Amino acid sequence: MSFIQLENLTKYFNGSADPAVASLNLTIQKGEIITLLGPSGCGKTTTLRMIAGFEHPNKGTIHIDGKEVYNEAQSLPPEKRGIGMVFQDYALFPHMTIMKNVMFGLGKWSARDKKQRAKEVLELVGLEGYANRYPTQLSGGQQQRVALARALAPKPHVVLMDEPFSNLDAGLREKMRFDVTNILRKANTTAIIVTHDQKDAFAVSDRVVVMKDGIIQQIASPREMYRCPKNCFVAQFVGKTNLLTGIMDDDKMNIHTHIGKVTLPEQWKERLETVKLSIRPEGCHLTEKGAYCGVVERVTYGGEYQELYVRLHNEPHLSKEPMLIYAPIEQDVEVGTIVSFNIKPELVALVE
């Protein structure tokens, strides 16, 4: 059995005909960092709260470290599940020192052991010099590390984090993604993180679980999810993409679309009639005498690259979206420039 196992987890809130979470199945290995990713209302927080024991599922079972902590007949209370929780607003006690905040979760430990363990985890999060300060005397990033230290102190089976980066500004957010992952790895802790931000999810996790309307859409490593999104929703939710429909050739490798022939990275198992394609914008690279040619309709400066919206010359369907292409910033392009490009098959995927 896996370290954490969620089977058929289903939750209906009072009065709602649609489930907030529907027959969710997920297994997590010890030491894995998993993120639940999806738009607002997709059921991420409800899933996390069911694992924590704050919310009762209507159906399903939850196992943590081999122990059944929930089934329809019985439910272990949150404090007996061996979980550490980090809340979005950190939930530190303002009237307690950092040391006391961290010791708080250690309940029945002896005073000496509590102090020793609090010192250990404060060192782990790099805040050993801050033990006697109060939460308001720390920056947002430091407060978050205290919240993580407090969650880790009782050596939980799993740490659950709800939107841990959403209160941080862009620069600190990037640093904290790195710090939090490092701390979790050093502590060798299994973690489940909820976020609606693709960059958070990709930066911190071994595997990402994308959810929509209470249903898991795909479970994959960040790289696999980006390169091989399972369906149109995932392709559009993780990064930008061009979605096209086409007809598959007999060779099962080439798709005839409104922009011309597009080659898949490898031969498809079976021949499908009509297919949908996701082509990542960085899969289209400008080159002289490329296979595709069009006129730039819009340019957005993206910092590291320029986003070009290109209307293909051979495109009879003006109702279609222009192709989104990333071009290097040194490239001289403006609205009206005629560009030619090729498509890298590795960044083309068939989607449902």
Residue 42 or 348: the one with the smaller Cβ distance to ligand ATP is 42
- For residue 160, give every residue at least 6 positions away whose Cβ sits within 8 Å of its Cβ, in sequence order, or none: 48, 51, 52, 83, 84, 85, 86, 191, 192, 193, 194
214 touches 197 (CB < 8 A) = no
Query: Binding to ligand ATP by residue 143, rule CB under 6 A?
Result: no
Contact letters for ligand ATP, residues 189-228 (x by CB under 6 A) = -------x--------------------------------
Residue 236 or 340: the one with the smaller Cβ distance to ligand ATP is 236
**Least distance (Å) between residue 210 CB and ligand ATP:** 11
Give the SS3 label for residue 151.
helix
**Least distance (Å) between residue 38 CB and ligand ATP:** 6
For 51-56, which contacts have Cβ atoms below 8 Å and span 24 or more sequence positions? 51/4, 51/6, 51/81, 51/83, 51/158, 51/160, 51/192, 52/78, 52/81, 52/83, 52/85, 52/160, 53/77, 53/78, 53/81, 53/83, 54/78, 55/11
Query: Binding to ligand ATP by residue 42, rule CB under 6 A?
Result: yes
- Alpha helices (runs of H) in the chain, residue ranges in sequence order: 44-52, 98-104, 111-124, 140-152, 170-186, 198-204, 222-227, 232-237
Residue 196 or 285: the one with the smaller Cβ distance to ligand ATP is 196
Which window, 2-10, 40-48, 134-142, 180-188, contacts ligand ATP (CB under 6 A)?
40-48
68 touches 61 (CB < 8 A) = yes
297 touches 310 (CB < 8 A) = yes
**Least distance (Å) between residue 147 CB and ligand ATP:** 18
Query: Binding to ligand ATP by residue 46, rule CB under 6 A?
Result: yes
Contact letters for ligand ATP, residues 148-187 (x by CB under 6 A) = ----------------------------------------
Structure tokens, 129: 């010099």
Residue 49 or 177: the one with the smaller Cβ distance to ligand ATP is 49
**Least distance (Å) between residue 21 CB and ligand ATP:** 7
**Least distance (Å) between residue 194 CB and ligand ATP:** 6
**Least distance (Å) between residue 8 CB and ligand ATP:** 17
Residue 13 or 178: the one with the smaller Cβ distance to ligand ATP is 13
201 touches 33 (CB < 8 A) = no
Contact set with ligand ATP (CB under 6 A):
13, 20, 38, 40-46, 196
